[in-house]
Amino acid sequence: MDNTLRYRTRFRVRFNETDPLGIVWHGHYITYFEDGREAFGEAMGISYRHIREHGYLAPVVKCACEYKLPLHHGEWAAIETVFINNAAAKMVFRYTIFNTAQQVVATGETTQVFTDVNSELILTNPPFFADWKIKNGLL
């Protein structure tokens, strides 16, 4: 049984995201990862809003991106966001961005840790996160 949690959402490249070469500036891919993560969170019940409502924050502490093909203004693309389950008190997401031909444009990964509202690191899984994992067959 595959318990992998994934969510795919589409987006359109805006003019202000392109550089003088007419392609998406490399830094915007990190924003696309954020968009994918937010869409995943809303769909799966683990959004930033949910995390905050439970008294926690989840800052990104690591981010990586590999660029494969360019995207251009006006193109439609899709981002698939996959939750990587692990035992630690952190959330790891992997991303794949596809163009309309379903070619891989970019891949990446982010890691987020949990802190309290005073930015103190939480070393054990918060109860709401453990409950979310149980609900989704991850524990």
**What is the mean pLDDT of the segment spanning 60-81?**
97
**What is the mean pLDDT of the segment spanning 107-118?**
97
CA distances from 132 to 42, 79, 89 (A): 13, 23, 13
Cβ-contact 36, 7 below 8 angstroms = yes
Question: Which residues, 6 or more positions from 68, have their beta carbon under 8 angstroms from its beta carbon?
Answer: 103, 104, 105, 106, 107
Q: Which two tokens stand for residue 99?
A: 């163009």
Kindly calculate the radius of gyration of the chain based on its CA atoms and give it in whole angstroms.
16
- Break the chain into its structural domains and give their ranges: 5-135
Tell which CATH classification among 3.10.129.10, 3.30.2000.10, 1.10.287.130, 3.90.1280.20 matches the domain 5-135: 3.10.129.10
pLDDT tens for each residue of 6-65: 999 999 999 999 999 889 999 999 999 999 999 999 999 999 999 999 999 999 999 999
Report d(CA 80, CA 139) in Å as an integer: 23
